[in-house]
Structure 1
Amino acid sequence: MEYNTQRSPLRLSEYGRNVQQMVDALPAIADREKRTAQAEAIINVMLRLQPKIKELEDYQRKLWDHLHVMADYSLEVDSPYPPPSREEIERVPEPVPYGIHAQQSGHYGAIIMDMIAAVAGEPEGAEREQMVMACANQMKRAYLKWNKNSVDDEVIARDLEQYSGGRLKLPEGVSLNMAMVASAEGRRPSAAPRPNGTRKRRTKRKR
Structure 2
Amino acid sequence: MVASSTFKQELLLREYGINVHNLVKYILTLDDRAHRTRAAQLLVNLMARLNPSIGSVQDAQQKLWNHLFVMADGQLDVDAPFELSAMEYLNDKPQRVEIPTKVPKFKHYGKNVEALVQKVSEIENEDERRAGIIALGKLMKALYKAYNKDTVSDEVILSEMKILSQGKLNIELTGGETSTLFDVSPGIQQQKTYSQKEPQQQQHKHKKHGQHQQHRPKHKNQ
Q: TM-score range by the shorter chain?
A: 0.3 to 0.5
Which TM-score applies when normalising by structure 1?
0.39
Larger radius of gyration: 2
